Structures are given as C-alpha cells and as structure tokens.
Amino acid sequence: MERTLLIIKPDAVQRGLIGKVISRFEEKGLKIAGLKLMKLVREKAEELYAPHKGKPFFEPTVNFMTSSPLVAMVLEGRMAINLVRTIIGATRPEEGSPGTIRGDFSTSVQLNIVHASDSIENAERELAIFFDKNEILDYSIISEIWNGNKMEAGVRT
C-alpha cells in the first residue's frame, strides 16, 4: 500500500470545506492513516516548499500556508499518490475539471484548496515534515480485503 500527504490548505479551512474534501477520499476508498488540524510554523512551510526556494511564488506561498490553520492527512491505498492527484485535479482553477476538488472549489493558483505529494520520494519527504512515525496508524479497512485477493485476506467466498 502506498501512503501520501494531503494538505487541506488555509483557504479551504476558512471556507468550511474540510468535511467535503475529506469525504472525496473516503468515498473513493482511501484510508486515513493520520490526521491533524494545525497551524504550520514558518520553518516547516519552508521545508515543505524547499524545492521551490528562489522562485517568485516561494515567499507568498510560505506566508499563505502559515497564515491560518490547515489540515494535514496521511492517505493510504493502492496507487494512492496517482489516485489522490486525479481526485484533486489541475493546479490552475481554469484547467480543473468539474468533479475534481480544485475544479469544484479553487479560486486561484494559490487558493487551490489542497496540496498533495506528487511522487513516492516527495511523499516520504513531506510526510516526515508533518508526522512522526508513531502518528501514522496501521489498520485494515474492508475495501482492502475485498479489493485485494480474498484468499490472502483469509476470506472465502
């Protein structure tokens, strides 16, 4: 199973969209293995966006991400990274397809509701910024049993 980071950004928290965003992933069958409502400190925001240091949007992004509470989540499932990226949609609101989180809710490139890891390497790096290993839970959900090999899961039909 793959794990990835999803951040519900300050704009979504301020607009009361936490539940709507989370429900998209739960309805798709992804497991929430970690969840925090938090105020991001500047050092953590700079670490998260370190690959973009020196770009014109770096400072405004760090300021925005530290301006108000956000929600950090660990999502887990088969091909979780690509699945989450599909559910969130394009970064630019004008490119966001209806039915995606950004297509339905974003208002600008910065106010685009969510951040999600884009690769296994970035997921590992970004998860470590927000979660200690003991804060990520290991448990099974029914879709893991029925979507996988039933015999392996000890279920006979």
Q: Which amino acids are annotated catalytic? A: 115
Which residues on adjacent β-strands are paired with residue 108? none
Q: For residues 100 and 24, give the distance between their C-alpha atoms in angstroms, rounded to a whole number.
A: 9
The answer to whether 105 and 24 have CB atoms below 8 angstroms apart is no
Which residues on adjacent β-strands are paired with residue 4? 75
Q: For residues 124 and 69, give the distance between their C-alpha atoms in angstroms, rounded to a whole number.
A: 22
Length of the chain equals 157
Tokens coding 86: 């599909």
The residue type of 73 is: M
